[in-house]
Amino acid sequence: MKLEGTTVAMVTPFTREDTVDEEGMRENMNYLLERGVNGLLAAGTTGESATITHQEQKKMMEILVDEVKGKAAAVAGAGSNSSKEALDLVKYAEDVGADYALVITPYYNKPQQHGLYEHYKMLSESVDIPIIVYNVPSRTGTDIDVETIGRVAQLDNIVAIKEANPDLDKVSQTIHKLKSLGQEDFLVLSGNDNLTLPMICQGCKGVISVVGNVDPARMSEMVNKALEGDFKGAQDLHYELYDLMKVLFVESNPVPAKEALNMMGRPSGHVRMPLAPLKKESQDELRKVLLDLQLI
């Protein structure tokens, strides 16, 4: 399945008993698919990958593949700070039939750049499933640099990077580097909703989105217009969604996104500790934005 466009980094809905809400997860998937998204990501950062068990994570991969059934790209969150654990998760994603595995740069360990390369090289040589590198230095403490991205892009099965470093000049450097290596087919995807439009202008091919959980139709339309070259139409939608893009990060992701879905009456539930519920003043700010967008 094609990876370009809008892939939604889905929240993980929980029941009151703190189990994964399978029925709610399936309901959310169909809601998103009906509104034109190009891909669905389960068990990513927005899916609270840090506090779901590997058993839950693997079950979510199974649900994802079963429900999507080829209607969009099925992307399985499969990273870890342990290369051995990451390999187990990526292999499982491949075994259940996911289209892609999203593999975050190992966190906490702070591996060297050549360590990052060896991590992805080992995965590439061990599986056939296409792998998306996920770079989010604000959470991992490590930033994969342009030279390393260039090396990783030349590995078999490593097909894209979700770039959540907010440095737009790095995006230009990365795409320039990929062109110089003849790796134009390697996709750069935005990992920040509010930077998606400028990143597409630089040559990125889409977004893995948090906002798409809440307003998938407008987010998809913005990305599609930008990819089609209708930058005025995309700009109008960017500013229409801008307050939502900002308020969904007023506290740690995915706390505001899950609260937004709760306000909208969609499956979401609580966040797992050590995340805590959204503060009252943030709830008020979020509710106003949702009302302004006529989402509630």
Catalytically active residues, by annotation: 134, 162
> Can you give the length of the chain in residues?
296
**β-sheet bridge partners, residue 182:** none
CA–chain centroid gap for 79, Å, is 12
Rounded CA-CA distance 250/285 in Å is 9
Full DSSP string of the chain: ----EEEEE----B-TTSSB-HHHHHHHHHHHHHTT-SEEEESSTTTTTTTS-HHHHHHHHHHHHHHHTTSSEEEEE---SSHHHHHHHHHHHHHHT-SEEEEEPPPSS---HHHHHHHHHHHHHH--S-EEEEE-HHHHS----HHHHHHHHTSTTEEEEEE----HHHHHHHHHHHHHTT-TTSEEEES-GGGHHHHHHHT--EEEESGGGT-HHHHHHHHHHHHTT-HHHHHHHHHHHHHHHHHTTSSSTTHHHHHHHHHTT-S--PPPTTS-PPPHHHHHHHHHHHHHTT--
Q: Is there a contact between 72 and 100 (Cβ–Cβ < 8 Å)? A: no
- Residue whose structure tokens are 């997860």: 25
